[in-house]
């Protein structure tokens, strides 16, 4: 079986930025209320961009920035939960836009873990020598599904896209996955087509902290590794309280942790008037 390596990466954020000030006034919140509870200062919404455009832009950016010959791409796997498109899939639209002839395309829906699932699927295709260079893309346009009267969801979710290009490697690489699903907990985070997203924040917090902590320990055990063997722990960038609680439970020092939750949302702070122009 072949090992894999990452040869290129990229990300794309929409242009429209919504600062905490918009939500502070909408919900009559203290100035630092959102930041203290989530770590977020600004989120990005794709006001004039479709989810397909987000995918095409991040894929094009990856190819151009890394000087990739697009013809080497023989697989595109897209993970998203925020689309009403049934067919053709977003991966097919990206293939069409990039004008790649011989390429397998798959869309998957797996919630917050979608990108990790897509990465794992790509790895298996490469390991079995069925594909060689797979473009894995995670895209969300959650703003289409937000209830802006719901403080539990509207203040923390946004839009964006990220991409990796994986290829086979002749050098031995360490790769272990430990993907689990818990159908009995489905009701804590739901969104039906043409409806708004619902989240039980308290239960999501408990689920994320407990299940992620256990999963990390189980994965390390499978790989016969210790926490001290890991250079960086990179978690799903959902909420700073969740992330900090997981690191605390694992007793991981801050110099071995990485988060871009605050950084991504602080590239540019939108002007107050811009927020209201978007709202209109």
Whether 3-169+264-272 shares its CATH topology with 183-259 is answered yes
This prediction has a pTM of 0.88
Domain 183-259 has CATH 3.40.50.150: no
CB 256 within 8 A of CB 228: no
pLDDT at position 264? 64
Q: What share of the chain is helix, strand, coil (3-state, %, to 5)?
A: 45, 20, 35
Q: Looking at residue 262, what is its pLDDT?
A: 66
Residue 262's nearest CA partner among 34, 14, 46, 22 is 34
Per-residue pLDDT of the chain in tens (280 residues, 90 and over written 9): 678 899 999 999 998 888 899 999 999 999 899 999 898 988 899 989 999 999 999 999 999 999 999 999 999 999 999 988 888 999 999 999 999 989 999 999 988 899 999 999 999 999 999 999 999 999 999 999 999 999 999 999 999 999 999 999 888 888 899 998 888 888 888 988 788 999 998 999 999 999 999 999 999 999 999 999 999 998 988 888 899 999 999 999 878 887 777 656 433 333 333 333 333 2
Closest-CA residue to 72 (of 143, 133, 148): 133
Q: What is the pLDDT of residue 85?
A: 82
Q: Where are the domains of the chain?
A: 3-169+264-272, 183-259
CATH class as words, domain 3-169+264-272: alpha beta
For residue 279, count other CB atoms closer than 10 A to its CB. 10
16: phi then psi, degrees, rounded to nearest 5: -80, 125
What are the tokens at 114? 């979608």
């Amino acid at each position: 079986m072949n090992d894999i390596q990452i040869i290129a990466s990229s990300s794309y954020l929409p242009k429209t930025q919504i600062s905490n000030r918009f939500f502070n006034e909408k919900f009559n919140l203290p100035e630092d209320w959102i930041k203290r509870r989530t770590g977020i200062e600004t989120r990005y919404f794709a006001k004039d961009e479709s989810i397909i455009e987000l995918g095409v832009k991040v894929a094009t950016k990856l190819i151009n920035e890394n000087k990739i010959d697009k013809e080497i791409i023989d697989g595109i796997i897209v993970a998203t939960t925020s689309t009403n498109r049934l067919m053709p899939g977003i991966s097919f639209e990206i293939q069409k836009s990039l004008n790649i002839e011989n390429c397998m395309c798959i869309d998957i829906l797996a919630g917050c873990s979608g990108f990790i699932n897509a990465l794992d699927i790509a790895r298996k295709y490469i390991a079995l020598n069925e594909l060689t260079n797979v473009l894995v893309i995670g895209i969300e346009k959650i703003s289409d599904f937000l209830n802006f009267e719901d403080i539990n969801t509207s203040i923390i979710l946004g839009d964006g896209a990220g991409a990796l290009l994986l290829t086979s490697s002749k050098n031995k690489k360490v790769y272990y996955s430990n993907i689990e699903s818990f159908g009995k907990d489905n009701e804590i985070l739901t969104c039906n087509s043409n409806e708004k997203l619902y989240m039980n924040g308290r239960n999501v917090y408990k689920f994320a902290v407990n299940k992620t902590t256990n999963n990390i320990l189980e994965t390390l055990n499978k790989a016969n590794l210790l926490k001290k063997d890991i250079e960086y722990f990179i978690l799903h960038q959902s909420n700073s309280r969740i992330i900090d609680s997981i690191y605390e439970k694992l007793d991981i020092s801050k110099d071995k942790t990485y988060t871009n939750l605050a950084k991504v949302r602080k590239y540019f702070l939108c002007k107050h008037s811009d927020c209201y122009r978007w709202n209109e």
